[in-house]
Structure 1
């Protein structure tokens, strides 16, 4: 039974990886300006399989891969239903995943029909990453179910401060993803053409309009990096959070470096795609850290040293 659940967990992990590939392909479609290469939806030029050129290959391929992910999720759900323990443990999160997927399909259609309106592009980015996070959490839970069948799973306690810090990181990540989507959809990536300054020797020339959007994106990136560094430091020796928080720190450092490269190299497609891929990986890692921190036992406060009055009297 444990082996069957473990195989199911591996299959969901594979689907998760395909989903992250789909997110990266969406970023490439955006960076290549191919978002309207298929100007209608759900068909492309009124056909299920249109005549292909480079732009159509990107956009139609993105749609085809999205359809494949949907079908795979249905198939894996049927497989999960046959595993009583896995179904009981994961059906709630699976239901949420289907709802997020349905919303993402609607947003994908609106993104085309609304001619790449900023709110549709940003929402499509956020919900796509949320779907990836749902699959990541599903995979992790399935591996746990398999492990529980082999024996009890123990978790080390986590201090309330670390739990709060983990939730703070999640909030900053969500804000940063939203800002990143707005920067991209409003073409504000190069309104500050330099780094670390914005223009000339001015770091913060204005917080109005697109300039303010880009500067806020940078500031939240710095805040997120600092928060993750604090989390990694505080959880360094924790048996479960320590490794994952250090991975989180590595990912955010890479992400900041890619953001800087995007500005200095003038938004090359390859760097933009890597920036989106790392952002998606950062979201998955953040979700796992928050999940582990939230589900762990709260560490008890340090016991105070006994006072003399509390000590029993010794009768000679």
Structure 2
């Protein structure tokens, strides 16, 4: 199985995350009052918030078909790479779970906590396809004799995994704060938005401070990853990209707070967090496989490597 279809599916899933953030930002989650239909229609009148919610649903359907295509190809090539099939099956199960949570959100009129759960599984689904793209890309590199294992790359697995876990935990917490209106309570003092989960302003304030602490954990772990990459002289480009995203994240977060949680800056803030999660997952995948998948060895290097291996075998 090639890497192009998983890569396209990864991009589509990222766009689905953006669409979901727009649905929340414009409060369009109940624009379609039923599910799986939209206000009793397969194709409802395209007006107002219905456009945002219906676009999100169509993207979800498109991602579903892409995942079915991945499942079909992974099943056909299951003997070549069983891990690919396992990852595709896992992603498909998560997609079904996200769809069910989305249906519950609509039918139960956005119960507190369920939208955050939906978002949390969606980012896991996105990350799974990032890993799948890395694994299938590695398989293609191996077939083309462009895959070279490196112990230094393997040593990056632990710091990369810690960064990924920290980003995911912060993402989930941020989603919970956003979808429970804790951010609005803390920033704008809108106590009218209190609910049975965020019952007092003190709880909202506590969650925001925990969110800040989690962000600091991401900062320290990302710096550790960067200096570790420089020390080992591997994956330096990916580590630098992580620092760039890390620098942009607090800026967008600050602008979001200053502008009263404006929709555009909030969506950008979420998108950067998702990209950081994807990059951390990809680096962890590279480290687990032991190769820099963004660097291809030329034919000359491959020939030299094969010659050296032959000499070792003869010896």
TM-score bucket (shorter structure): 0.7 to 0.9
Matched residue, 1:166: 160
Unmatched segments (≥5 aa) in structure 1: 195-205, 298-316
Unmatched segments (≥5 aa) in structure 2: 189-199, 292-315
Provide the rounded CA distance (Å) in 2 between the counterparts of 1:44 and 1:92: 34
**Could you say if the C-alpha distance between residues 248 and 101 of structure 1 is closer, same or farther in structure 2, counting changes exceeding 3 Å?**
same
1:79 is aligned to 2:73: yes
1:114 is aligned to 2:112: no
Deviation at 1:86, TM superposition (A): 5.3
Aligned match of 2:119 in 98, 108, 125? 125
1:264 is aligned to 2:258: yes
Matched residue, 1:43: 37
Provide the rounded CA distance (Å) in 2 between the counterparts of 1:224 and 1:26: 24
User: When you count helix as a share of all residues, which structure comes out higher?
Assistant: 2
Q: Is the 8 A contact 1:156 1:238 kept in 2?
A: no
Aligned match of 1:93 in 87, 96, 106? 87
Aligned match of 2:26 in 23, 32, 35? 32
Provide the rounded CA distance (Å) in 1 between the counterparts of 2:119 and 2:10: 16
**Could you say if the C-alpha distance between residues 287 and 31 of structure 1 is closer, same or farther in structure 2, counting changes exceeding 3 Å?**
same
Provide the rounded CA distance (Å) in 1 between the counterparts of 2:155 and 2:48: 51
1:63-78 alignment runs, 5 A limit: 63-78=57-72
Instruction: Return 181-190 or 61-70, whichever deviates more.
Output: 181-190
Provide the rounded CA distance (Å) in 1 between the counterparts of 2:23 and 2:234: 37
* Aligned Cα root-mean-square deviation (Å): 2.4
Q: What is the TM-score of this pair, normalised by structure 1?
A: 0.81
1:288 is aligned to 2:282: yes
Q: Deviations over 1:40-75 (max 9, x none)?
A: 111111221112212111111111110111012212
Deviation at 1:191, TM superposition (A): 4.3
Q: How many residue pairs are counted as aligned between the two chains? A: 280
Provide the rounded CA distance (Å) in 2 between the counterparts of 1:279 and 1:150: 34
Q: Which has the larger radius of gyration?
A: 1
